[in-house]
């Protein structure tokens, strides 16, 4: 009997395509951010704040991915930033061919910075390289500071961690411990960049945007 490990074969093909896409984006001077989190952590809210902060210096667009619906892409377009919606029809993550479809629909040449809002999920998106230049995740305060213990792969693979909804820290509604979270994350990923912020009040958005902007200029020059 012949045994074929389908998942490994799919991932190895995908890894190869991801490497090729990263090379192409580098040549075209386009920076691609893969933004991941659980549902509702604040991906779309962060994108609205970040693009508003950076729109005078960079040409940007957003690829939204959802299992169904196009509400997120509509919110981005309403803010004046080009966006397209990928509907995965049940898939819980994006792979490189799906991202390529999105890039094709946007005509990515001429854009400095493109964001992918990946499907809301802390498991599957962590396993699939999208070909993005960097991976960024959001953990929001109401989800709790124990998430690095439960979803270590996601925290291990990201270049930056946004801790969103820090406005909750000033209330009695949470026991979230930011220092404890940082200790847990650094055990998995020593050099990760951590940005506590609120996509509601705007606190911390400037620091995150400045860091991202410096990465974009480094990559695209
Ligand atoms: N208090 C507070 N609420 C926030 C913050 N950021 C986002 N929210 C709220 O959290 C909810 C979910 O935000 P979204 O930006 O839609 O989250 P998302 O990760 O894009 O959600 P999905 O695309 O459904 O996975 C909304 O009601 C936002 O208004 C924040 O910093 N503080
Ligand atoms: Mg969203």
pLDDT digits (tens, 9 = 90+) for 79-133: 999 999 999 888 899 999 999 999 999 987 899 999 999 999 999 999 999 999 9
Note the pLDDT tens digit of each residue in 185-209.
Answer: 999 999 999 999 999 999 999 999 9
d(CA 156, CA 127): 11
Residue 15 lies in a domain: no
Note the pLDDT tens digit of each residue in 128-171.
Answer: 999 999 999 999 999 999 999 999 999 999 999 999 999 999 99
d(CA 122, CA 15): 19
Give residue 141's pLDDT. Answer: 98
Written as one string, the DSSP assignment of 98-126 is HHHHHHHHHT-TT-SEEEEE--S-SSHHH
Q: Is 69 helix (H, G, I), strand (E, B) or coil?
A: coil
Nearest to 116 by CA among 78, 88, 155: 88
Give residue 2's pLDDT. Answer: 82
Phi-psi region of 80 (alpha: psi -120 to 50; beta: other; left: phi over 0): left
Distance 72 CA to ligand 2 centre (A): 5
Residue 148 lies in a domain: yes
Residue 11 lies in a domain: no
Distance 23 CA to ligand 1 centre (A): 33
Residue 221 lies in a domain: no
| CB-based pocket (< 6 A), ligand 1 | 37, 39-45, 72, 120, 164-165, 167, 198-200
To test the pocket of ligand 1, the residue of 199, 203, 208 to mutate (highest count of ligand atoms within 8 Å of its CB) is: 199
Give residue 52's pLDDT. Answer: 98
Domain that holds residue 60: 21-216
**Residue 69 pLDDT class (50, 70, 90 cuts):** confident
Q: What is the tally of structural domains in the chain?
A: 1
Indicate if the pLDDT at residue 1 is higher than 90.
no
Give residue 4's pLDDT. Answer: 75
Give me the CATH number covering residue 103.
3.40.50.300
d(CA 120, CA 66): 8
Q: What pTM, to 2 d.p., does this model score? A: 0.96
Distance 44 CA to ligand 2 centre (A): 4
| C-alpha 50, offset from chain centre | 12
Residue 14 lies in a domain: no
Residue 8 lies in a domain: no
Neighbouring C-alpha atoms within 13 Å toward the C-beta of 187 = 10
Residue 31 lies in a domain: yes
């Amino acid at each position: 009997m012949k045994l074929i490990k389908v998942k490994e074969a799919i991932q190895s093909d995908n890894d190869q395509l991801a490497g090729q896409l990263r090379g192409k984006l580098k040549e075209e001077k386009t920076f691609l951010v893969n933004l991941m989190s659980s549902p509702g952590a604040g991906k779309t809210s962060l994108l609205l704040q970040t693009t508003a902060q950076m729109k005078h210096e960079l040409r940007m667009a957003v690829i939204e991915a959802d299992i169904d619906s196009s509400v997120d892409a509509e919110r981005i377009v309403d803010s004046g930033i080009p966006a397209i919606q990928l509907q995965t029809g049940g898939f819980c993550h994006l792979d490189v061919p799906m991202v390529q479809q999105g890039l094709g629909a946007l005509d990515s040449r001429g854009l400095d910075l493109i964001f992918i809002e990946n499907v809301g999920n802390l498991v599957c998106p962590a396993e699939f390289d999208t070909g993005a230049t960097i991976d960024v995740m959001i953990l929001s305060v109401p989800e709790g500071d124990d998430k690095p213990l439960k979803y270590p792969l996601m925290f291990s693979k990201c270049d930056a961690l946004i801790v969103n909804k820090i406005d909750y820290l000033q209330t009695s509604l949470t026991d979230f411990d930011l220092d404890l979270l940082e200790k847990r994350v650094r055990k998995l990923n020593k050099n990760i960049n951590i940005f506590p912020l609120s996509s509601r009040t705007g606190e911390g958005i400037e620091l995150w945007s400045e860091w991202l902007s410096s990465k974009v200029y480094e990559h695209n020059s």
